[in-house]
Amino acid sequence: MNCAYKGVWLTDPHRVFGLDWSYLTILGLIGTVAFSMRFIIQWMASERAGKSVIPTTFWYWSIGGSLIMLLYFIFQRDPVGILAYLPNSAIYLRNLYLIRKNERMGTA
C-alpha cells in the first residue's frame, strides 16, 4: 500500500507503554478531554449554586469537543462516529442563541 495514500504521518502508530499511539489517537484524546470538560464545568457551577445549572461555558466546551471528535472520526473514516457527532454543534449553537436571546429580553 502506498504510504502517501494512507496518510502515514497521521495514522502510523508508535508503540509507547505497550499501546499504539498516533497523531490521530492524540487528536481523539484531546477531543475526549474537551468534550468531558463540559461535565466538570456543569458540576462545579451546580455545586456553587446549590442546584442543577448549565453555564454558558458548558455549551462552548460542547462545541469544541464535538468538532474535534468529528474531525477524529472523519480521519478514521468511521461513519458511526461521524453521524454521532455531526449534528451536535448545531444543537449547541442553538442553545447559545436562545441564551443570548433571553439575556437581551431580560428573561435569563
Average pLDDT of the residues of the chain: 86
This prediction has a pTM of: 0.74
pLDDT in tens, 17-60: 777 778 888 888 998 999 899 999 999 999 999 999 999 999 99
Cβ partners under 8 Å of residue 108, min gap 6: 99, 102
